[in-house]
Amino acid sequence: MNTLEKRLLNDFQRNLPPSPTPFADMAGELGVTEEEVISGLRTLTERGVVSRVGPVFRPQRCGVSSLVAMTVPEARLEAVAELVNAFPGVNHNYEREHRLNLWFVVTANTQEHLQALLQHIEQQTGLAILPLPMQAEYHIDLGFPLQWD
């Protein structure tokens, strides 16, 4: 991993100010071009080091959301996960070793839209969903300084 990639991973885990030109702002802090920042992030993404580059909004600040769990027969798990992932607003889709084995977060602009989306997912998959809306908000900072050899 080159120095720019290491700095992209370490220096921008949090506190990037909202800006219409975030990559140019990052480039200015790093002393490189905007194109180099974009290329570095693309490389990290293609190698699977980074899965997503973008803002994280506090829950319920921009619309509504819910954690959702489903019990999916093992033989259908991959197909159902793919179908669920295709819905706008679905993210954080992952498998768990539990009877409720498919979990995801879904967001929408209104509670009514969220309910309609959840009903549509049930209809398309033929499987029941278990919405698990947030009861209390906790903030856990998942950023940490990276150590390089």
Q: Among residues 21, 22, 113, 104, which one has the least CA distance to residue 62?
A: 113
pTM of the predicted structure, to 2 decimals: 0.62
Q: How does the average pLDDT of the chain come out, rounded?
A: 89
Q: Torsion angle, CA of 34/38/39/41, rounded to 10 degrees?
A: 140
70-75 long-range contacts (CB < 8 A, ≥24 apart) are 70/100, 70/101, 70/102, 70/103, 70/125, 70/127, 70/128, 70/129, 70/130, 71/99, 71/100, 71/101, 71/102, 71/127, 71/128, 72/101, 72/102, 72/125, 72/127, 74/101
Sheet holding 64-70, edge to edge: 90-95, 102-108, 64-70, 129-132
Query: What pLDDT does 130 receive?
Result: 96
Mean pLDDT over residues 18-45, rounded? Answer: 95
pLDDT in tens, 56-107: 666 666 788 899 999 999 999 999 999 999 998 887 788 999 999 999 999 8
The ranges of the chain annotated as CATH 3.30.70.3460 are 64-132
| CATH architecture, domain 64-132 | 2-Layer Sandwich (3.30)
Q: Which residue has the higher pLDDT, 118 or 62?
A: 118
**Cβ–Cβ under 8 Å, residues 122 and 83:** no
Taking the C-alpha atoms of residue 79 and residue 82, their distance in angstroms, rounded to an integer, is: 5
| Res 17: pLDDT | 72
Residue-wise pLDDT tens digits, 130-146: 999 887 777 776 777 78
For residue 125, what pLDDT is reported? Answer: 96
